[in-house]
Amino acid sequence: MESKPGEGQTVNMTEDVRHISIKLRPEIETSTNRKFSTFIPLLYRRNQAVNGISYCVKILVEPAVKNMLNECIHVNVFETGGCLHMDKLKNVVQERTVLESF
Here the contacts of 84-92 (C-beta below 8 Å, separation 24 or greater) are 84/20, 84/23, 84/24, 85/24, 85/27, 86/24, 86/27, 86/28, 86/31, 87/54, 89/28, 89/31, 89/32, 91/32, 92/58
Q: Which structural domains are found in the chain, ordered by start?
A: 11-92 (3.10.450)
Residue 22 has pLDDT above 70, yes or no: yes
pLDDT one-digit tens code per residue, 61-101: 987 676 677 888 999 999 888 888 887 778 765 655 555 55
Average pLDDT over residues 15-42: 92
pLDDT one-digit tens code per residue, 31-53: 889 899 899 999 999 887 778 88
- Its pTM stands at 0.78
Quick one: pLDDT band at residue 6, thresholds 50, 70, 90? very low
The rounded distance, in Å, linking the Cα atoms of 78 and 55 is 6
